[in-house]
Amino acid sequence: MVSYVAQNTSDKYTLLYEGLAKEGYKFIYVGGTPSCENCRLQGVCLANLETGRLYEVVFVRDVVHNCAVHDKVVAVKVREPDVYVAIKSKLAIPGSSITWNEKECNKKLCEYYRTLCNPEYLHIGDRLQIRKELDHVNCPKGEELTRVEVTRLS
């Protein structure tokens, strides 16, 4: 059964291991392997995604291909999902945009360090639009931080 999914300007097409090709599945793209260099499908599989970015599967096609790395891969439509980050509370204004910078922090074992304060799929200099202000973050350093939902702007 094929269902219609509205086209989004950030939609991209790629190939994904058939065992992971499910709507809602999220992954960080890490690039190809040496086995991919001579593959006839590398243009659609590798060229459409940016290394180090988080993607979410929004549509799975009934198209399966053989793959030297994953055995079988499926054609999928992906996009970068909205994500949650911690920012200074005074900047948490829905509709505004900010430039992402790594947070200086020595609390690397803090539960928020990698999840909200320094997520690996955001890069220094990314432009983010704040979609929603969510809640206060209990920062162990005492920083006034708010968890917000953001969209990366291209």
Q: What is the model's pLDDT at position 62?
A: 92
d(CA 134, CA 131): 10
d(CA 141, CA 55): 31
Q: What is the model's pLDDT at position 9?
A: 59
State which of 25, 58, 79 marks the end of a domain: 79
Do 112 and 68 lie in one domain? The reply is: no
| 6 in a structural domain | no
**In contact, 36 and 46? CB cutoff 8 Å:** yes
Q: What is the model's pLDDT at position 103?
A: 86
Domain membership of residue 145 as a residue range: 83-153
Q: What is the model's pLDDT at position 8?
A: 56
Average confidence (pLDDT) per 10 residues, the chain, 154 residues = 50 95 96 90 90 96 92 95 96 96 90 95 96 96 96 91
Count up the domains in the chain and report the number: 2
